[in-house]
Amino acid sequence: MNNPPDISPAQHETEQYAHDVSKHVRGYLIVGGTLIFCTALTVFLSYVNFGSQKANVSVAMLLAAFKAGLVAYIFMHLSAEKKLIYRVLLFTGIFVFALFWLTYLAWYDPISH
């Protein structure tokens, strides 16, 4: 789903523009409904025993990642952004990965493991 375009100063194009945005509005409502449904699903699945705590955590985090992806992609318009924003996010991703990698290294003890 692309961003609604910037509004045109020309009257006849404004009507077409309003029509285009109204199509996006339907998409936003569908995404909102999907997010609510996924929340209910997360709660339901947390009471299902998947065999181990690790499996339950994985299922919940996968659903959370899907929901977060929807918010970022649709609501935050990352489906159609300028390259500079993606570059900023790429660097952010690298630093976050490094942060969690350090956490993992601090926790993982190669001698006793």
Partner 1 sequence: MEIPYTVTARPDTGLWNAKIGIWLFLASEVMLFGGLFSAYIFLRLDAEPGYWPHGLLNVPVGTFNTAILIASSVTVVLAWAALKMRQFARYKIYMGITILCGVIFLVVKLGYEWPQKYVHFGAYIKSSALEKYEPLLGNKHLLAEGLPPRVEITGHLHNHEALHDPKIKEYEIALDPVYTDPTNPKMDRPHFLYVPPTEKIGVVQKADVERATMFLPTHNTYFATYFTITGLHGLHVLAGVLVFTYFWLPVGSKLYRENPEHLANRVEVAGLFWHFVDLVWIFVFPLFYLL
State the residues that interact with partner 1 by CB under 8 A: 4, 6-7, 14, 17-18, 21-22, 24-25, 28-29, 31-32, 35-36, 39-40, 42-43, 46-47, 49, 53, 56-57, 60-61, 63-64, 67-68, 71-72, 75-76, 82-85, 88-89, 91-92, 95-96, 99-100, 102-103, 106-107
State the nearest-atom distance from the C-beta of 110 to partner 1, in Å: 15
- Residue found under tokens 């961003």: 3
Nearest distance in Å: CB 2, partner 1:
13
* Minimum distance from residue 81 beta carbon to partner 1 (Å): 9
Nearest to 2 by CA among 68, 63, 82, 66: 82
* CB-nearer residue toward partner 1: 10 or 25: 25
Task: Give the pair of three-digit tokens for residue 63.
Answer: 């659903």
**41 CB-near residues (< 8 Å, 6+ apart):** 63
Of 10 and 71, which CB lies nearer to partner 1 in the complex structure? 71
Do 5 and 12 meet the contact criterion of CB atoms below 8 Å apart?
A: no
Contact by Cβ (8 Å): 19, 7: no
